[in-house]
Amino acid sequence: MSISLAVFLAFVASTLAITYWAAKRSRGASAYFAAGRRITAWQNGFAVAGDFMSAASFLGLIGLIALQGFDGILYSVGGFVAFVTILLVVAEPLRNTGKYTMGDVLAYRLRPRPVRALAALSTLTVAAFYMIAQMVGAGALVNLLLADSGITYNMAVVGVGILMMIYVVFGGMLATTWVQIIKAMLLSACTLVLTILVLAQFHFHLIDFFSAVSQIAYHQKGELIVRDFLQPGLRYRPPHGPLDLVSLGLIFAFGTAGLPHILVKFYTVPDAKTARHSVVWAMVLIGAFYVMTTVLGLGAAVILGPDSVLAHGGTNMAGPRLAQALAGDVFLAFVSAVAFATILAVVAGLMISASTSFAHDFWTNVVHHGVERKTDESVLVARIAALTVGVISILIAIALGPTANVLILATFGLAVAASANFPALALSIFWRRFTTAGAVAGMAAGLLATIALIVVGPTAMGIDLPSTTGAARHLIQAKPWFPLENVGIVSVPLGFLGAIVGSLISREPSAEARFDEVIVRANTGLGAETAAIH
């Protein structure tokens, strides 16, 4: 048995033990969906960090920086700054007014059925994009690591899928949270060790390290060129470069604050103050992590070289291969096991937020008008939903195979969250005139605009040389209609515009009358959901 398999099995065994422990403690809806609202600030900070630092960040980001230098670093910055928005705008009002989902906050003032139906739809869309990214990451890892142990891509995807279903179906939010806490600790430690190893190559002389970064040689179109990897422009070039960059900035600044699997974590703490402190904990961990990814990405460019990154395993494998180059196969095994743990933790978080939204928003409140016919029926529905979503995502991941950069895939999910979820969420907390029509128009406009622009943009459309085959080929062989890879600069304003215009042309006195209740609840926590008593 290989070392990576052993490390991975040890992680799996401990998470299954946690799941067993959580399943025994978990009784009722509040326990299943929100861990009884008894998670402490540091625990939730680690869990949020564990939920957010995905395979996309760890695997995709290092590869992106290794190939595109500074332009990849912009993704590191974006991942962190997003939490300022969450801290200042979203976390506390959300904790004070909601119960399990974003739909709860909207349903306070607005007509519950239409807004919950759309909130559930966009939640499932965001989760789907993220889930595909994680599964592709899992498959790519297996291709690199466990090929000689006889485990194939398909077996790995099925394995990851089954494990995450066990966590979510049996352990609920409590098990998911603890899996994420352990993963955040492992990933932070692993990133720190890798960073130290990279800098040790330069005897901790940062000037020498960056001097090496400024002369990276690689092949482009058959020619050997030398570039300074701190110089911008390797990914985003004129004429559309600035627009693409602002676009990327927008979806990071707003998108993370609309990610369902992040929002749901603020319901697991006892009150708004704890939610606030947990965001700051998360910011410390996530900030340190992303600063270190810049060193790791540039380090991979220096130590492995862009040519080698492309030739062996592609962008997603730059991090694990860097570990192998620096400290041999044992460390490669450890880093890969941590990357696997990362995927499991994030997929479990996505799964529980998607199944919660389906059960709570769609099943209980849209289909059954908010009346639960049997005790804890919503928990049963959520479990069935988790199983269904799990099976479907396994099938999609197998159909796709290990392909595109997982970070780019995850960015699409972020674009939907920024354009559909964030405008509706922010306006329902801050704008008295917001109406049901506005929420529906805003979420629909944001969702449709994002998907449509991605489909007609340069990611899906393009003309390839006949020699390009497989995953590198564009989906639609035609000149892209929309020039930008990042659609946020159009889709985020459209989401807001839809919400504002929809509100202004409709009248909903009940929504206006309820605004006082929303701001009092959001700002004082009066009448907020309380922690379960044991």
Partner 1 sequence: MEASAGETPRHEQTTSDWSRIAASEEFKDLIALKKTFIVPAFLVFFSYYLSLALLVGCAPKLASLRVIGTVNVAYIFALSQFAVGWIIAGLYLLASSKFDRLTKDILARIDTDRGGK
Report 303-332 residues binding partner 1 (CB under 8 A).
none
Three-state DSSP at 23 gives helix
C-alpha to C-alpha distance for 18 and 33, rounded to whole angstroms: 16
Select the residue interacting with partner 1 from 8, 52, 218, 236 (CB under 8 A).
236
Q: In the complex, what is the shortest distance from the CB of residue 96 to partner 1, in angstroms, rounded to a whole number?
A: 10
* Residue closer to partner 1, measured from CB, 211 or 477: 211
Q: Which helix (H) or strand (E) holds 223?
A: strand 223-227
* Residue closer to partner 1, measured from CB, 81 or 158: 81
Q: In the complex, what is the shortest distance from the CB of residue 415 to partner 1, in angstroms, rounded to a whole number?
A: 15
Q: In the complex, what is the shortest distance from the CB of residue 29 to partner 1, in angstroms, rounded to a whole number?
A: 4
**Matching residue, tokens 């947990």:** 278
* Residue closer to partner 1, measured from CB, 216 or 424: 216
Whether 519 contacts 465, CB under 8 Å: no
- Asked if 25 touches partner 1 (CB under 8 A), the answer is no
Select the residue interacting with partner 1 from 25, 158, 185, 232 (CB under 8 A).
232
- Asked if 245 touches partner 1 (CB under 8 A), the answer is yes
CA distances to 3, 369, 411, 514 from 313, in Å: 20, 50, 21, 55
- Asked if 195 touches partner 1 (CB under 8 A), the answer is no
What is the Cβ-side half-sphere exposure of residue 182, based on CA atoms within 13 angstroms?
A: 22
* Residue closer to partner 1, measured from CB, 84 or 387: 84
Q: In the complex, what is the shortest distance from the CB of residue 69 to partner 1, in angstroms, rounded to a whole number?
A: 10
**Footprint of partner 1 on 57-116 (CB under 8 A):** 70-71, 73-74, 76-77, 80-81, 83-85, 87-89, 99-100, 104, 107-108, 112
Q: In the complex, what is the shortest distance from the CB of residue 426 to partner 1, in angstroms, rounded to a whole number?
A: 11
In 10 A of CB 205, how many CB atoms?
A: 10
DSSP 8-state assignment for residue 264: G
Site string for partner 1, 259-298 (x = CB under 8 A): --------------x--xx-xx--xx--x--xx--x----
Residues in the chain: 534
* Residue closer to partner 1, measured from CB, 209 or 340: 209
In 10 A of CB 516, how many CB atoms?
A: 11
The contacts of residue 315 (CB under 8 Å, 6+ apart) are 60, 63, 64, 66, 67, 309, 405
Q: In the complex, what is the shortest distance from the CB of residue 524 to partner 1, in angstroms, rounded to a whole number?
A: 5
Our measurement of the distance from residue 490's CA atom to the centroid of its chain's CA atoms, rounded to an integer in Å, reads 21
**Matching residue, tokens 């927008």:** 250
75, two tokens: 């993704």
Q: In the complex, what is the shortest distance from the CB of residue 53 to partner 1, in angstroms, rounded to a whole number?
A: 15
CA distances to 107, 108, 419, 483, 491 from 494, in Å: 22, 24, 7, 17, 5
411, two tokens: 């960015």
Select the residue interacting with partner 1 from 244, 317, 354, 491 (CB under 8 A).
244
DSSP 8-state assignment for residue 367: I
Q: In the complex, what is the shortest distance from the CB of residue 333 to partner 1, in angstroms, rounded to a whole number?
A: 31
Q: In the complex, what is the shortest distance from the CB of residue 188 to partner 1, in angstroms, rounded to a whole number?
A: 15
- Asked if 517 touches partner 1 (CB under 8 A), the answer is yes
Q: Which of 41, 44, 40, 22 is nearest to 32 (CA)?
A: 22
- Asked if 513 touches partner 1 (CB under 8 A), the answer is yes
* Residue closer to partner 1, measured from CB, 455 or 520: 520
**Footprint of partner 1 on 197-216 (CB under 8 A):** 206-207, 210-211, 213-214
Site string for partner 1, 355-394 (x = CB under 8 A): ----xx---xx--x-xxx---xxxx---------------
Q: In the complex, what is the shortest distance from the CB of residue 241 to partner 1, in angstroms, rounded to a whole number?
A: 5
CA angle 275, 277, 283 (to 5 degrees): 105
- Asked if 483 touches partner 1 (CB under 8 A), the answer is no
* Residue closer to partner 1, measured from CB, 183 or 521: 521
Our measurement of the distance from residue 69's CA atom to the centroid of its chain's CA atoms, rounded to an integer in Å, reads 22
Whether 511 contacts 434, CB under 8 Å: yes
Q: Which of 299, 282, 340 is nearest to 55 (CA)?
A: 340
Select the residue interacting with partner 1 from 154, 201, 506, 523 (CB under 8 A).
523
Select the residue interacting with partner 1 from 26, 30, 195, 353 (CB under 8 A).
30
C-alpha to C-alpha distance for 60 and 405, rounded to whole angstroms: 6
